[in-house]
Structure 1
Amino acid sequence: MTTIRDMTDIEKGLTHLVAHDPRLEAIVAVSGTIPLRLSEPGFASLAAIIVSQMVSKASAAAIWSRIAAHGPITPATYLAIAPEIAATFGLSRAKAQTLSGLAQAIVEDRVDLGALLDMPPDEAMAAMTALPGIGPWTAEVYLMLCGGHRDVFPSGDVALQAAVAHAFALERRPSARQLRQMATIWSPWRSVAARLFWAYYATHMRRDALPTR
């Protein structure tokens, strides 16, 4: 399975995208440098993705700093945090349950987040979304940003929907289903297309580019 590992892969993907969809040339021109955005696989990175859902970048950073204040973010250390302390982190009840359930599943060897990244995307998605609280957006962003999967496009991401609508002067923001269909033209480099539109969202629309569900 071909994966994204460095900026050479990003450039290769952009070249392919512009060649197959000339509309993207103008978007590349105004989006600045397209960031690599790769993180180490594992609990900490997936937990950070979960924390970032549906909150601002500043809020996610504040929550993360409270969690990190209790030591390295591993499944065991997270589970060792007293409930009354965890309640001060600012997590919603659903996110708190998701993080605890994920940490417990890893400790009990019911899931291996590293091994998931070696699976074909469809199998990895199915395995991840079988975990309580892990939806398609979370799984897709993890595969993209921790596994380097090159052909994943989280169409449920609000920032991507807004960026595509703005870039293509659409009358309204596309739904997740509509955007998923639109993104088929960008295969097999849909993960680079997603990075491009996040960069467009940040630089051209002057908005926070943290992936948001």
Structure 2
Amino acid sequence: MSKPSQETLQQACDDLMACDPAFAAAFAVTGLPDWRYSPPGYHTIARMIAFQQITTKAAATIWGRVEAELGEVTPASVLGASEDTLRGCGLSRPKIGHLKSIATAVEEGALNLTRVYHAEIEAARAELLAVKGIGPWTADLFLLYCGRLDAFPIADVGLMEAYRQLSGHEERHASKAFTELAEAWRPWRGVAAHLLWGWINAERAKAYSASGGSDA
């Protein structure tokens, strides 16, 4: 289990560029995308839960405390930790509930992340979504980060905005329309996502540098 090879990414990019000129424009800036890879285990999905809806800096601090407290973050270590202990690390009660719910599903076999990794995308997504605490965004990003080439984070605003700019549209596609559009990018929707993210992040970095490093 590892991130996609350079050869696979090149084939995917070639196919996407032939499919839609927006990807040729993105590739001209980014080259082969740098895959955001994480191993397909409980630690990865737990970290994603911890990082949701707060700043990256704050989340990194909280997650560092969780790892320092628990050592290895596993279903067993999370289930063995009290709510007070996890609250002391900075996790909110809802997030603690989600982490423990997912840990229970893994421990009891209702959620088998190895099986999920190897299943067809829709079956993998369905198994993840059946667990309390895992929503569509978490499921899609988990599959994507674990190297699934056709996983696609539906309704990601950054992707929709990147595509709008690259394709020259005045307005972003609505979520449903964008999801339907992405069907043409199969079986490389995950690579498409990385190309779009890479391009818009490069544009943001360029704008930040042009402003002299000011957020104003």
Give 1 or 2 for the bigger CA radius of gyration.
Answer: 2
In structure 1, distance between residues paired with 2:140 and 2:5: 19
Match of 2:136 in 1: 136
Counterpart of 2:201 in structure 1 is 202
Q: Is the 8 A contact 2:13 2:32 kept in 1?
A: no
Distance 2:66 2:161 in 1: 31
5+ unaligned residues in a row in structure 2: which ranges? Answer: 208-216
1:192 CA displacement: 0.2
Counterpart for residue 36 of structure 1:
35
1:146-165 aligned at under 5 Å gives the runs 146=146, 148-165=147-164
Aligned residue number for residue 14 of structure 1: 13
Sort the Cα spacing of 1:60 and 1:157 in 2 relative to 1 into closer, same or farther, 3 A.
Answer: farther
Conserved? CA contact 1:129–1:136, under 8 Å? yes
Query: Deviations for 1:145-183, whole angstroms, at most 9, x for unmatched residues?
Result: 11x221122122232223223333433333321221221
Distance of aligned partners of 1:10 and 1:60 in 2 relative to their CA distance in 1, 3 Å threshold: farther
CA apart distance, 1:111: 1.7
From the two aligned structures, give the one with the greater helix fraction. 2
Alignment of 1:109-124 (within 5 A): 109-124=109-124
Q: Is the 8 A contact 2:22 2:166 kept in 1?
A: no
Contact 2:10-2:32 at 8 Å conserved across structures: no
Q: Rate the CA distance shift 1:123–1:135 in 2: closer, same or farther, 3 A.
A: same
Change (3 A) 1:166 1:85: farther
Q: Could you say what secondary structure the match of 1:11 adopts?
A: helix
Q: Which runs of 5+ in 1 are unaligned?
A: 208-213
Counterpart of 2:180 in structure 1 is 181
Going from structure 1 to structure 2, the CA distance change for 1:90 and 1:108 (only over 3 Å counts) comes to: same
One-letter code aligned to 2:75: P
Q: TM-score, normalised by structure 2?
A: 0.85
Partner-residue secondary structure (3-state), 1:117 = helix
Deviations 1:78-107 (A, max 9, x none): 122221121133334332211110112212
**Structure 1 residue 53: deviation in Å?**
2.5
Give the structure, 1 or 2, with the largest relative contact order (CA under 8 Å, sep 6 or more).
Answer: 1
Find the residue that maps to 1:131 and give its secondary structure: coil
Indicate how the Cα distance of structure 1 residues 11 and 85 shifts in structure 2: closer, same or farther if over 3 A, else same: same
Contact 1:155/1:161 (<8 A) preserved: no
